[in-house]
Amino acid sequence: MSKRDILMEVENVSVTFGSGATAVEAVKNCSLTLNEGEPIGIVGESGSGKSTLARVMAGLQPPSAGEIRFRGDNVFKGNKSFQSGNRNQVQMVFQDPYGSLNPQLTGLSAVAEAVRIHTKVGKDESEQKALELLERMGIGKLDALKRPRQLSGGQRQRVSVARALSANPTVLLADEPTSAIDQSAQAQLLKLFLGLLNDGLAIVLVSHDLGVIRYLTKRVYVMKDGVFVESGDTETVFNDPQEDYTKMLLASIPGELGKAARAKLNR
């Protein structure tokens, strides 16, 4: 039982928007590590900077300070950077299912396109592969031929995941994937993620919902106003939160978990 290999490192990353008097520091000196096949969570409210951090990790936006490394190589600079082709390894699923798919493409076309780009196979083969991927995500052939506006939020999210997976990534960043969909669709999506974890994919789950974090992740970072206020094993943070902010987050979870946390708080 060896220690898992480190897959991604975020070292002293800060992200500042704007300049001068109106500069806003969305992320302040954050550091984290992600190991192979590991699920971690970044939890915080809106405005905590967690989405910005996720986007920086996905290589969509360079940090104002600090480094992001994938397997030891800087993600933004040098010849192993994402720009120079290492792109596929880290994929992202976004919060809004309504904007994450090209409205003009059917689910099949969108995924097949991704497959073609990453594996350089022909059209028919890519469509075959795409159908398989979509099937794994619970999207049958009939639904695969539908355009996004004919699909539910949960289905759109699953198509997005299928598209992300066609790049054969080692890391999947999910930014609030469950916030805009029904409870039952949430359950389906999380079950899917669990399956992906079992297949060896590393997942970074960004959410404001600790219930979801608790179900899926092994380690969690609690973020507030751009800073990590607490971090550790998910189970530990849940049962024995150190910071008041964490305690407050726990108390807000709907249902049984929240009740338990509130009971503890009032003791």
Residues 16-45 that bind another protein (CB under 8 A): 45
Judged by beta carbon, residue 72 or residue 140, the one nearer another protein is 140
Is 78 a binding residue for another protein by CB under 8 A? The answer is no
- Complex with another protein: residue 29 or 208, whichever CB lies closer: 208
Give the nearest distance from C-beta 70 to another protein in angstroms: 13
Nearer to another protein, 12 or 119 (CB): 119
Instruction: Rule CB under 8 A: say whether 87 interacts with another protein.
Output: yes
Using the rule CB under 8 A, give the single segment among 21-29, 66-74, 85-93, 125-133 that binds another protein. 85-93
Residue type (1 letter), 101: L
Interactions with another protein, residue window 111-150 (CB under 8 A) = 113-114, 117-118, 146, 149-150
CA distance 75 to 100: 24
Among 151, 201, 204, 237, binds another protein (CB under 8 A): 151
Query: Which of 37, 63, 177, 211 is close enough to bind another protein by CB under 8 A?
Result: 211
Q: What is the phi/psi pair of residue 250, to 5°?
A: -65, -40
CA 138/CA 133 separation, integer angstroms = 9
